[in-house]
Amino acid sequence: MNSPKKRIGLVGTGFIASGFARLVHNHAPDLELSVVLTRRKGGVDFFPWTDRFTHSEQELLDKSDLIVECSGDVLHATRIIDIALRAGKPVVTMNSEFHVTTGSWFADKGLLTEAEGDQPGSIAALREEAVMMGFKPLVYGNMKGFLNHHPTPEEMAYWAGKQGISVEQTTSFTDGTKIQIEQALVANGFGGTITRQGMEGPKATDVTKAAIELARTAAERGQAISDYVLAPGNAGVFVVGTHDKSEWKALNYLKLGDGPYYVLVRPFHLCQYEIIKTVRRVLGGGGVLLNNSSKPSISIVGIAKVDLPVGTRIDRAIGGFQVRGEAARITDVKGHVPIGLIQDAVITRPVSAGQTLSFDDVELPDTLALKIARELYA
């Protein structure tokens, strides 16, 4: 007798969500995309099976054995994940923005994990493999091809259209906010740190060489670090670690170099197509791949790109043209407002370009996310 299909509830209907939905439907006969929670009012031409759409959070809970959250919206994700975990539903996310803003509050309140596929989850999976093979990680690394802290709306509209993703996503990738968020999540999840606000981000044509230099820095500090390499033409993630001295000859034979720092590279991350690996991990009892930990040490500050007069409204900071994000040690930025919270916000006192925004600079909507963030960061 065949086992019943596991029911997957999905939150979100964008690029990531639609790709995951197609994968489940076409390539996972033991899983069922049972319900899709959306806030959209009309139809979505690019999303399959709109007959499974619902606006009802209760229907999401009733029809799901596991929930995949990939809305990309911190405030919405915080509320839905709170409801899901209270109902005892395991949650798999592709939403690093949520994790570094409010995720720590939920870290010990149920099974909540970021998925493999986006860079943080891919680093987590590579780290897990490295540790199993005896490596001791020193650097959790990301690769970035291009960086411009101040892209124009016209540039971002062009590239968004060319790449088939939203302007907000394109902008957060380009101005560096997304990679700062990703590496903060990794640092928090594995008890690492950053060397300075904004991280090092060395520009390099030789990723291995740059990665080893970061490892030397980590070794001097005596703590693993999370960082990235600006390496045009390269993609993927890497982990740098040491190994037992007695293994030097074997590792050299296996083309990992002379040591003592060994670079393991995963030259791809396939976002929506890899979420299913973490879904199966959780359904199989494998537990959490990555979360922000219950005691984060790194947050993402919001830095004004332009002068923000009193009364300025910020509909969305991540991926916008008013604010960008940088990773910073929480102890160094007391009173900062995490960039993930700066949504539907109004500036209450003048903010100059380059200034870090604090809770005193903005009026924020009364949300669960705000209550949590004040507890975590204020």
- From CA 23, how far away is CA 35, in angstroms rounded? 15
Confidence of residue 1 (pLDDT cuts 50, 70, 90): low
pLDDT of residue 350: 98
Helix (H) or strand (E) run with residue 78 in it: helix 74-86
Helix (H) or strand (E) run with residue 229 in it: strand 225-230
Q: At 138, list the tokens.
A: 């020193």
What digits encode the pLDDT tens for the residues 97-153? 999 999 999 999 999 999 999 999 999 999 999 999 999 999 999 999 999 999 999
- From CA 321, how far away is CA 53, in angstroms rounded? 32
- From CA 13, how far away is CA 327, in angstroms rounded? 28
- From CA 37, how far away is CA 173, in angstroms rounded? 26
What digits encode the pLDDT tens for the residues 47-101? 878 889 999 999 999 999 999 999 999 999 999 999 999 999 999 999 999 999 9
Confidence of residue 3 (pLDDT cuts 50, 70, 90): confident
Helix or strand or coil: residue 265?
Answer: strand
Q: What is the DSSP letter of 285?
A: T
pTM, rounded to two decimals: 0.96
């008013």: which residue's tokens?
322
Confidence of residue 43 (pLDDT cuts 50, 70, 90): low
- 43-47, 168-172, 291-295, 372-376: which range is least confident on average? 43-47
